[in-house]
């Protein structure tokens, strides 16, 4: 017997989006998966099926998918990025997470520490921090 959960999930998801006046759905799944895993392929298929179902109702719906800042198995997330892109209207690259999988000095890190170490200034000027 085929798994019918998708046929329950997608109409339910559409109803939720419609009642909330949303313009689509964002997938942000961050669990680790091994390269070529069935789970990662199923995730990509779910996104594609969601896009197909939503666009059948309204082609203006957007299906977006969040992806890691690097496709190189960051944090164990070896997703099929090409399939995710094909199944989505857009990919959202989570480039704010660039410190994951970095174990030494990272020059792409947050710069707030620089400003927190400054003595309070009466007025801000570039010459006061150079």
Decide if 49 is catalytic.
Answer: no
Please give the class, per CATH, of domain 5-99. Answer: alpha beta
In this prediction, residue 41 carries a pLDDT of: 93
CA dihedral angle for residue 79, residue 81, residue 84, residue 86, rounded to 10 degrees: -150
- The model's pLDDT over 92-109, given as tens digits with 9 standing for 90+, comes to 988 765 666 666 665 555
Q: What pLDDT does 100 receive?
A: 60
pLDDT at 129: 47
Q: What is the pLDDT of residue 124?
A: 46
User: Global pTM?
Assistant: 0.72
- Residue 111 has a pLDDT of 53
Q: Which DSSP string corresponds to 48-83?
A: HHHHHHHHHH-TT-EEEEEE-S-TTTGGGB---HHH
58, HSE (Cβ side, Cα atoms, 13 Å)? 13
Give the residue ranges of the chain where pLDDT is below 70: 1-4, 96-130
Q: What is the pLDDT of residue 7?
A: 82
Catalytic hit among 13, 30, 71, 83? 30
Q: So what's the pLDDT on residue 66?
A: 93
Euclidean distance between CA atoms 107 and 94, whole angstroms: 17
pLDDT of res. 93: 86
């Amino acid at each position: 017997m085929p798994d019918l959960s998708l046929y329950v999930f997608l109409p339910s998801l559409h109803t939720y989006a419609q009642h909330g006046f949303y313009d689509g759905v964002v997938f942000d799944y961050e669990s680790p998966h091994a390269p070529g895993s069935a789970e990662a392929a199923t995730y990509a298929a779910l996104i594609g099926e969601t896009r197909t179902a939503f666009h059948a109702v309204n082609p203006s719906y957007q299906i977006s998918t969040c992806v890691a800042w690097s496709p190189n198995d960051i944090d164990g997330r070896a997703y099929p990025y090409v399939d995710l892109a094909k199944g989505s209207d857009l990919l959202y690259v989570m480039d704010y997470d660039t410190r994951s999988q970095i174990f030494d000095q990272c020059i792409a890190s947050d710069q707030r520490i620089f400003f927190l170490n400054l003595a309070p200034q009466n007025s801000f000027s570039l010459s006061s921090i150079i």
